[in-house]
Each structure stands twice: as C-alpha cells, then as structure tokens.
Structure 1
Amino acid sequence: MSWWQIFGGRGARAKVVRPAGDHIENLRAHAPVDIQQIGTTAELPVWIDVSPEDRTTVTYDGFLWEVEPTGEYLYYLSGDFRKNEKGLLRYESAKTIAEVYVSFEDDVVSVDRSEMQRWSEVARQEATDSSDFSNMTVREITAFAQQRSQEAGYARHLARLAFKDLHRGVGYMEQANDFIPGPWVRLLWSKHAETSQGSRVTKVIVRSSDPDQNINPMHDLMRTLVDRYQNIEDHPLSGAIRM
C-alpha cells in the first residue's frame, strides 16, 4: 500500500480511501507532482479544461490537497490556488474558484437533489436576482445581505440566478450568512441525469471570498460554464476516490 489504504469501488463509483497517517505523514509520503496552469479566464489561472464531449480522467486524487473528495470527476477548474511542497493545489488557499464536476455517488446525488431543489425554491421567492448585484464587489454584496437579514429579522442571503436558460437544472446565488464569517459569494447550479453508469449529478460552482472581487466576471463565467457543461456526454469514468 502507498500512503493510503483503498477499499472496494469499481467503475464510476468512487473507491473509499482511508489515510494511513495524519496529514503531515501522508503529505510526506506523497509523490511529487507537476501541475501546470493551462490558461487564464476571468483573471484566474485555469488548471483543467475538458470538453463536455470528452471523457475526463481527472479526479481530486493527486491534484488537490486540503479537501476531502467525495467521488468527483473534474471537467473544469480555475482558481488562484497556491501549491504545497509536493506540487498539489491547496484547495483552501484559493480566494476565487470555478469548478465543474460530475459525481455518481448515491448519497452525493441524493443530497444535492434535495438541497438544490430546496434552496433554489427559496431563492425564487426572493425579490432579488443575481443581475441586481452588477458591478458590486463581494464585500458590498455581503454587507447588503447582512443588512437585509437584520432588517427582516431572519436570514435573507439567497437570490435567483439571472440566466435566460438553466437547461433543466436548478441554481441560485448565495451570499455570506452568520454561519460562515467573512465576505463571500457563491453561484451554484446542478443537473441530474440517468446515465449508463447510474444516476449522475453535474455541478457548477463559482465562488469567491476575495472582498474586492467584482461579481460581473464571476457571473459571466458561471453563465458560460452552465451553457457549456449543461449536457455532458455519457462516458465510462473510473478512478475517483472518497474519504
């Protein structure tokens, strides 16, 4: 065995990984990697860019650190990540991230379906949509959400996605709330489909905790990613892990 122990799993279903030691020991035993930036978009380094017509071979394994994978197959990743001493991208180091992945894990698919339906419905009932925040920074959007919640006496930190077409998926904009301190904004979208490998969720997330980040390029990138990845081809996938 290497620095981890792997149990079960085949095909699109993720293999369960149990780290053999603590994070310091596991990182020390990890093989060095050479992950290179492949482009730039919205002033963010692009690390992964797989066509929705193609089969992805990229998972969190050997690519990202400081995050517990739950069976993701990555199609797109951009963000201002720092690297650790082995060359892995430190997931929690990035202030602004855009990510597209699919997952076939039963619990992940089920929870996403429930949560996204619930919160997108709450967002639809709000008087605001994501276009109302044009040219605002993450700091300004957070201050607005907090003020609106205080005036209402309950949490009001969601808004509809102002997209012409959600392609039969669901999505919403989420602003900072009392449970996670500091300014941040997330744009989320997901779509569920039945494939030859079982139920699949496609997830698109664009988020930022950079107070000075303008929402416009985030919003534009989110729309581009949803339009591009709304119908990923059904390819056999393997190699994902979960912890």
Structure 2
Amino acid sequence: MNWWKKLRGQGPEAKVVKPAGNHIENLQTHPVVSIQQIGETAELPVWVDVPPEEPTTSTFNGLLWEVEPMGEYLYFLAGNFPKNERGLLRYASAKTIAEVYVSFEDDVISVDRSEMQRSSEIAHNEMTYSSDFIGMQAGEISAFAHDRTQSAGYARRLATLSVKDLRGGIGYMEQADEFNPGPWVRLLWSKNTETSQGLRVTKIAVRSSDADQQFGPMHDLLTTLIDRYQNIEDHPLSGAVRM
C-alpha cells in the first residue's frame, strides 16, 4: 500500500520548489506573514510546539528565511530569530536555536545516518563528554576546542553526549573548528524509524553562536526534547518543500 501511495503522490515526500528569481526578488513577492511567539523555554522564544502524538502541519515554508528547506516537518522550534520585512524568521541570523523535525527524504536520511555514525564514533574515541562542559559558556567551549586542536595538530572538536538513555537514537556534541572559528557549539541527536509512510528520520538539534550562552541550559533542553520526541507517532504528513 505504501508504494502505491507514493506512486500517486500522496506520500510525505517534499515538493521540489525552484525560486523564480534571486533571494531579493523572491522576498519582495513573498506575502507578509504574522508569526507569533507561543511560549518560552530556556529563555528562548518558542515558535512551534506540536505534541509527539499529533501530526504536524509546520514546515520551513512560509516560516523561515535564510535557509533552504530539505523536506522537514517541524515539531518544535525555539530561537531568538529576528524577522525580515515580510515577517519571516531569519534562520541563519539567530544566535541560539532548538529544533525538532522529521524527514522522509531518502538522500537526507542517508547523509544523516552516515554523518551521525561517523561523528559519534570519532567523538567516542576523543574520550571527551558533553557533561565536561556544564557550567561553561559557548565562547569558553570554543576557545577550549581551538586550543585542543592546535596542541594536537588535528581537529579535536567532537564529544560524546552525556545522556543516560539515547532512546534508540545516536548523537554527539560538536564544537567550533577552523571552518567555524567563532563561538559555536551544537548538540545533535537523530533516530531512524520505519513507518507506514516509509523510513523516517527524527532530528533534534540545539546550537548556539552566542559567546555568552550558558551550555548547561542547552544540554538540559536537548535531554528534555529527546525524552519528549523519542517516539513521534506515525501520522500521514504532507506539504513539505525542498529547494
């Protein structure tokens, strides 16, 4: 039944969208939207908050700017996003973000699985743990990563997640490196699940480029989101786009 739904275009696969013009022209023709904050967590405004037992209708389309959608269905989004002149949240301009989404895109799932596995193995061999940084700020963590890399002569920027139960998923902590030299830290977790609509990846990320951002609340938030969204229910989803 699943293959027939996909053949008829009723599955969750994203619609490919090709912008008509450049980003300035596309923004000028974009309708004005009114996106309201619906809550707050870890001192971050919350914009999307869908319970894991319910289907989500939120996608990147019509919500976020400064990012290319890749077929994401949003369940949770928090961050200090500024808004552009059309009212869209400027994704790349936020200093601190927490997000939970699912995707059914084959290439997205394949790349995620490969990168998560490789990075988590490297992190394990580094013998560094995310709990080592509790009490530090993002800027201090980045400085530590730079010093450690320079002393070793190779990139040492990954750490194992100090989460008691990864709930069948995989994750790691990522710090600033030579390609992201500013204050920058990210916590990642993902899980692959077989659903009636095909293979689905659930992705949770909490990141910050704010030098003064305390790492402890970020770590706590990731743990809370893993506990909450570890097993998102299998609902038919549609409407995602990718560019």
Report TM bin, short chain: over 0.9
Which whole-Å CA distance do the structure 1 matches of 2:211 and 2:57 have between them? 34
- Give the Å deviation of 1:17: 0.2
Is the 8 Å Cα contact of residues 33 and 87 (structure 1) preserved in structure 2? yes
**Deviating more after overlay: 119-128 vs 31-40:** 119-128
In structure 1, what is the equivalent of residue 123 of structure 2? 123
In structure 1, what is the equivalent of residue 4 of structure 2? none
Alignment of 1:31-70 (within 5 A): 31-70=31-70
In structure 2, what is the equivalent of residue 72 of structure 1? 72
In structure 2, what is the equivalent of residue 3 of structure 1? none
Q: Which runs of 4+ in 1 moved over 4 A?
A: none
Q: SS of the residue aligned with 2:46?
A: strand
Identity %: 72
Which whole-Å CA distance do the structure 2 matches of 1:218 and 1:192 have between them? 23
Q: SS of the residue aligned with 2:67?
A: coil
In structure 2, what is the equivalent of residue 189 of structure 1? 189
Which whole-Å CA distance do the structure 1 matches of 2:86 and 2:144 have between them? 41
Q: SS of the residue aligned with 2:126?
A: coil
Supply the AA of the counterpart residue of 1:122: I
**Deviating more after overlay: 108-117 vs 122-131:** 122-131
Deviations 1:6-53, CA, capped at 9 Å, x for gaps:
xx9642000000001111111111111110000111000000000000
Supply the AA of the counterpart residue of 2:204: V
In structure 1, what is the equivalent of residue 26 of structure 2? 26
Which whole-Å CA distance do the structure 2 matches of 1:179 and 1:38 have between them? 35
5+ long unaligned stretches in structure 1: 1-7
Is the 8 Å Cα contact of residues 59 and 73 (structure 1) preserved in structure 2? yes
Q: SS of the residue aligned with 2:180?
A: coil
Question: What TM-score do the two structures reach when normalised by structure 2?
Answer: 0.95
Is the 8 Å Cα contact of residues 138 and 210 (structure 1) preserved in structure 2? yes
Which whole-Å CA distance do the structure 2 matches of 1:218 and 1:37 have between them? 19
1:16 aligns with 2:4: no
Q: SS of the residue aligned with 1:83?
A: coil
Which whole-Å CA distance do the structure 1 matches of 2:109 and 2:169 have between them? 13
Supply the AA of the counterpart residue of 1:167: R
Which whole-Å CA distance do the structure 1 matches of 2:10 and 2:156 have between them? 42
5+ long unaligned stretches in structure 2: 1-7
CA RMSD, 1 decimal: 1.0
Which whole-Å CA distance do the structure 1 matches of 2:223 and 2:231 have between them? 14
Which whole-Å CA distance do the structure 1 matches of 2:145 and 2:227 have between them? 28
Which whole-Å CA distance do the structure 2 matches of 1:100 and 1:219 have between them? 15
Which whole-Å CA distance do the structure 2 matches of 1:138 and 1:91 have between them? 19
Is the 8 Å Cα contact of residues 11 and 239 (structure 1) preserved in structure 2? no
Q: SS of the residue aligned with 1:182?
A: strand
Deviations 1:137-196, CA, capped at 9 Å, x for gaps:
011001111111111111110000000000110000000000122110000000001111
Which whole-Å CA distance do the structure 1 matches of 2:96 and 2:10 have between them? 33
Which whole-Å CA distance do the structure 1 matches of 2:132 and 2:25 have between them? 48
In structure 2, what is the equivalent of residue 148 of structure 1? 148
Supply the AA of the counterpart residue of 2:178: D
Which whole-Å CA distance do the structure 1 matches of 2:44 and 2:148 have between them? 31
In structure 2, what is the equivalent of residue 227 of structure 1? 227
Q: SS of the residue aligned with 2:234?
A: coil
In structure 2, what is the equivalent of residue 83 of structure 1? 83
Is the 8 Å Cα contact of residues 9 and 16 (structure 1) preserved in structure 2? no
Aligned length: 236
Supply the AA of the counterpart residue of 1:170: I
